Amino acid sequence: MVCAVRQRVATPAKAKPWNLKSIALVHQPDLGVAPHSSTIPSLCNVKSLPIAGVKAPQRLARFSLSISHHIDYAMTSVTAIIVLMSITRFAYITVSAAFFLCHSVSADNPPPQTRDHVLLITIDDLNDWVGCLSDKDASAQAGHLTGRGHPQASTPNMDRLAKRGVLFTNAHCQAPICRPSRTSFMSGLRPTTSGIYGNRPKYDANGTLKPGKDVPWLTKRFEQAGYQTFTAGKILHGSQNKPLGGTPCFKTNQGPYPPKKLGVPAEVTKPGVWDFGVYPKTEKEYTDLRIARWTAGNINKPNKSGDKPRFMALGFYNPHLPLFAPKKWFDAAPSQKDVLLAAMRGDDMDDLPAIAKRIASRVSFAAPAAWVRETEDRLRLLTQAYLACTSAMDDSLGEVIDALDKSDMANNTWIIVLSDHGWHLGEKNHIAKQTLWTRSTRVPLIIVPPKRLKGTPRGKRCERPAELLDVYPTLIDVAGIKPIKSDKHLDGLSLLPWINNPAAEKKRPAITTIYSHNHSLVGDRYRYTRYADGSEELYDRFNDPHEFDNLIDPLKTTDKNQQAIIKELAAWIPSNEVGPPDLVDDRVKR
Ligand SMILES: [Ca+2]
Ligand SMILES: [Ca+2]
Q: Say yes or no: 226 and 267 in one domain.
A: yes
Distance (angstroms) between ligand 2 centre and the Cα of 190 equals 28
Q: Say yes or no: 325 and 431 in one domain.
A: yes
Report the candidate in 250, 308, 297, 307 with the shortest Cα–Cα distance to residue 407: 297
Domain membership of residue 295 (yes or no) is: yes
Distance (angstroms) between ligand 2 centre and the Cα of 360 equals 14
Task: Please state, in angstroms and as integers, the Cα–Cα distance from residue 133 to each residue in 155, 463, 513, 532, following that order.
Answer: 10, 11, 23, 32
Distance (angstroms) between ligand 2 centre and the Cα of 430 equals 13
Q: Say yes or no: 490 and 399 in one domain.
A: yes
Spans in the chain with pLDDT lower than 50: 1-107, 211, 587-590
Which H or E run includes 65?
Answer: helix 59-85
Q: What is the pLDDT of residue 109?
A: 62
Q: Say yes or no: 270 and 370 in one domain.
A: yes
Q: Say yes or no: 279 and 346 in one domain.
A: yes
Distance (angstroms) between ligand 1 centre and the Cα of 319 equals 9
- In this structure, which ligand is nearest to the CA of 176? 1
- In this structure, which ligand is nearest to the CA of 177? 1
What residues pair up with 537 in beta bridges, in sequence order?
529
Total structural domains in the chain? 2
CA distance 222 to 519: 31
Residue 310 φ/ψ, nearest 5 degrees: -110, 140
| Cβ-based burial of 346 (10 A; exposed 0-12, middle 13-18, buried ≥19) | exposed
- In this structure, which ligand is nearest to the CA of 551? 2
Report the candidate in 445, 394, 449 with the shortest Cα–Cα distance to residue 420: 445
Q: Which long-range contacts (CB under 8 A, 24 or more apart) does 73-82 make?
A: 73/5, 73/99, 73/102, 73/103, 73/106, 76/1, 76/4, 76/5, 76/8, 77/1, 77/4, 77/102, 80/1, 80/4
- In this structure, which ligand is nearest to the CA of 182? 1
Q: Say yes or no: 158 and 133 in one domain.
A: yes
Domain membership of residue 527 (yes or no) is: no
Q: Which of 504, 534, 564 is the last residue of a domain?
A: 504
Length of the chain: 590
Strands of the sheet containing 413-419, edge to edge, are 249-250, 228-233, 310-315, 117-123, 413-419, 445-448, 166-168, 460-462
- In this structure, which ligand is nearest to the CA of 547? 2
Q: What is the pLDDT of residue 346?
A: 94
Instruction: List pLDDT tens digits, range 216-251.
Output: 999 999 999 999 999 999 999 876 787 888 888 898
Domain membership of residue 214 (yes or no) is: yes
Distance (angstroms) between ligand 1 centre and the Cα of 364 equals 12
Q: What is the pLDDT of residue 440?
A: 98
Which 3 state secondary structure label does DSSP give 291?
helix
Domain membership of residue 368 (yes or no) is: yes
CA distance 281 to 229: 33
- In this structure, which ligand is nearest to the CA of 343? 2
Q: Say yes or no: 70 and 219 in one domain.
A: no
Residue 129 φ/ψ, nearest 5 degrees: -80, 65
- In this structure, which ligand is nearest to the CA of 434? 1
Residue 8: which domain range? 2-112
| CB of 185 closer than 8 Å to CB of 474 | no
Q: Which of 83, 112, 141 is the last residue of a domain?
A: 112
Q: What is the pLDDT of residue 51?
A: 34
Q: Say yes or no: 250 and 216 in one domain.
A: yes
Instruction: List pLDDT tens digits, range 268-322.
Output: 998 789 999 999 999 999 999 999 999 999 998 876 666 789 999 999 999 999 9
Q: Say yes or no: 95 and 127 in one domain.
A: no
CA distance 354 to 589: 7
Q: Say yes or no: 38 and 171 in one domain.
A: no
Distance (angstroms) between ligand 1 centre and the Cα of 409 equals 29
The CB density around residue 437, as the number of other CB atoms within 10 Å, is 25
Q: What is the pLDDT of residue 209?
A: 61
Q: Which of 476, 504, 532 is the last residue of a domain?
A: 504
Domain membership of residue 510 (yes or no) is: no
Q: Residue 393 sits in a domain of what CATH number?
A: 3.40.720.10
Distance (angstroms) between ligand 1 centre and the Cα of 426 equals 18
CA distance 16 to 62: 14
Domain membership of residue 517 (yes or no) is: no
Distance (angstroms) between ligand 1 centre and the Cα of 363 equals 13
- In this structure, which ligand is nearest to the CA of 418? 1
Q: Say yes or no: 352 and 478 in one domain.
A: yes
Q: What is the pLDDT of residue 113?
A: 56
Q: Say yes or no: 140 and 83 in one domain.
A: no
The CB density around residue 441, as the number of other CB atoms within 10 Å, is 28
